[in-house]
Structure 1
């Protein structure tokens, strides 16, 4: 199994963002967004290069088709963030509290999600390459139809994950402290799990195969 590559970030000295809100197709380079309320702002198609978003409110923020490159999102919070079709490359997400994130059709490469909690993540049809979920809680993430390659879950709770039609390659689930699969247990080819995780998944696997288990 090939291990996921982590982002190698070294942010330059950042300038405080002095603008008002976000703009569609905006170009943000070397900026620090600290403690801002960006709820409901429209940054669709924007590019964030060498940026830090720290302690920002992102309720309903629109970032569809945006590009986040060599950037950090730290202690951001929000519900209903729209990142459909976005690109995240060499990005760290630290201690975030997010819900209902719309990430369908997005492309993630060398992304680290560390700490925090993400509920009801919609990553359908997304492509995740070299992505690490570490020390976080994922509640009912939906990876339906997504492609996951070199993805690792380390010290991470994965609760009621939707894996219908997912494609896995070099996906390491051994570090998941909780592993609950709501649908798609038959799609685990390409992943590695521990013997104890296999025992936990045995009832779901038996049901998928139509096997009756009786004493």
Structure 2
């Protein structure tokens, strides 16, 4: 089991962003978005390099195919944020409050998600490499068809996880505070779990294998 590599961020002095809004294919370098209301804005294909988004509203914000590189997202909140096909590399997401975030087809590398709560996270067909979920709550995250390599869940609450069609390699679930798999328990090959988690998952595993358990 190979451990995930954490992002190593050293942000330079940042310039506060005073622009009127996001622009498709915009280029944002060394900017700080502090308390910005980005609701409904369109930043499709935009590039964020050495940026910090702190306390921003991201309701229905469109960021498909965006690139977030060497950046921090702290205390962001929103419903329906669209990051489909986006690239996140060397990113820290801290204390987020998000719902229905679309990250299907996205590529996440050296990403740390710490604290907060994310409901209905869509990571279908995404590629996750060196990603750490730490101390957060994930409600019905969808990893259907995704590829997870060197992914760790530390002190996380995982409710209703969908692993249908997912491919796992060096995925560490042992330290999850709570693990509930709704679909795709047969895709756990390539993951490591604790003995207590095995007991909790036994009924689902037996059902998947067609084993009838009777007293």
For the aligned pair, the TM-score class normalised by the smaller chain equals: over 0.9
Q: Residue 37 of structure 1 aligns with which residue?
A: 37
Q: Distance in 2 between matches of 1:110 and 1:158?
A: 20
Measured against aligned partners, the alpha-carbon deviations of 1:141-183 in whole angstroms (never above 9, x if no partner) come to 0000000000000000111100000000000000111100000
Q: Residue 6 of structure 1 aligns with which residue?
A: 6
In structure 2, stretches of 5+ residues that fail to align are none
Structure 1 moving runs of 4+ over 6 Å: none
Say whether residues 1:206 and 2:199 are aligned partners. Answer: no
Say whether residues 1:55 and 2:65 are aligned partners. Answer: no
Superposed, 1:75-114 pairs within 5 Å as: 75-114=75-114
Task: Report the secondary structure of 1:175's partner residue.
Answer: coil
Q: Residue 71 of structure 2 aligns with which residue?
A: 71
Task: Report the secondary structure of 1:144's partner residue.
Answer: coil
Displacement, 1:62? 0.3
Q: Distance in 1 between matches of 2:49 and 2:104?
A: 22
Task: Report the secondary structure of 1:145's partner residue.
Answer: coil
Task: Report the secondary structure of 1:45's partner residue.
Answer: coil
What number of residue pairs does the alignment pair up? 215
Say whether residues 1:121 and 2:109 are aligned partners. Answer: no
Q: Distance in 2 between matches of 1:91 and 1:27?
A: 17
Task: Report the secondary structure of 2:157's partner residue.
Answer: strand
Q: Residue 183 of structure 2 aligns with which residue?
A: 183
Task: Give TM-score, length-normalised by structure 1.
Answer: 1.00
Displacement, 1:109? 0.2
Say whether residues 1:15 and 2:22 are aligned partners. Answer: no
Task: Report the secondary structure of 2:101's partner residue.
Answer: coil
Q: Residue 173 of structure 1 aligns with which residue?
A: 173
Q: Distance in 2 between matches of 1:169 and 1:25?
A: 34
Displacement, 1:5? 0.2
Task: Report the secondary structure of 2:121's partner residue.
Answer: coil
Displacement, 1:14? 0.2
